[in-house]
Amino acid sequence: MANAAWVFPGQGSQAIGMGADLATVPLAQSRFAEAESVLGWSVLDVVQDAGDKVSSTLYTQPCLYVVESILADVLKENGHSPAVVAGHSLGEYVALYAAGVFDFAAGLSLVQRRAELMSQASDGMMAALLGFDADELTAKLEATPGVVLANDNNPGQVVISGTPEAVTAVMEGIKAKRAVKLNVSGAFHSPLMADAAATFEAVLEPVLFATAQVPVLSNVDPAPATDGAVLKQRLVQQMTGSVRWREITLALPGLGIDTVIEVGPGNVLTGLTKRTCRELTLVNVGNLEQTATLAS
């Protein structure tokens, strides 16, 4: 699939048991062992915990990174490669790994620290809005201090983030088919994450970002880029910036992409893409069987 984009989902796509079927693959066994040496705990133990430990932010982000990275590695081992990559929020780290910007352990160390900082963010609130008037929402956001557009997912689905009072005011102040408060610890992708972002920037600073082997479409800037310094700066901005997923999706046909492969558990990004660019062929690769059945 020479004209395929690989996209990687973020927090919210995790599921109990995800990636456990990969444990029979030698490549995956090596990665799981390497991850345990970095994290100090077993990804396989966490994803198979019946109490849904994997849905705690502290564990969710590293587990998603490890499982999605292994799936990407298995696809490459089977002879597949992407033309471009992108990831939704946490998924951007996997996209950068898949593009060769940093190695597996370096990326996992970043993700672990990111998860720690985000799990400690107790201020703020996020909510998903579905079925709304875009102009009405834009006007309400502009008129309401303390709330921003966090995820511009597709024309009919967004996430807002900010202070509880401001988010509630927007939820109650516009007409929407659904408005749902999200079960997260803080106001991710908003200015309320500024302190965490400043701390994380210092963590990012010494990490070498190599030139990407394929173009990366970043959350805060969907223009394709390969320069390591540019990609690092975009990642610095990601924690407080909006996830511009709708624009990423709309950019794909213009880059010659005809197929989008969602590499990771679930089908969240597939659903978002379907509503934005109907002409794209959509494929899910979330388990070992699907890596083997992907057409050449």
Strand locations in the chain (E)? 4-8, 84-87, 125-132, 147-154, 157-162, 176-181, 216-217, 259-263, 281-285
Instruction: Determine the residue type at 75.
Output: L
Question: Smallest Cα–Cα separation from 86: which of 70, 74, 101, 103?
Answer: 101
Catalytic residues: 89, 189
* 65: number of Cβ within 10 Å: 29
Residue 215 and residue 86 in contact, taking contact as beta carbons nearer than 8 Å: no
- According to DSSP, residue 212 is labeled P
d(CA 120, CA 188): 11
**CB-based contacts of 86, cutoff 8 Å, min separation 6:** 5, 6, 7, 8, 92, 95, 216, 217, 218, 222, 248
Residue 152 and residue 158 in contact, taking contact as beta carbons nearer than 8 Å: yes
Strand, helix or coil for residue 162: strand
d(CA 127, CA 129): 7
Strand locations in 10-156 (E)? 84-87, 125-132, 147-154
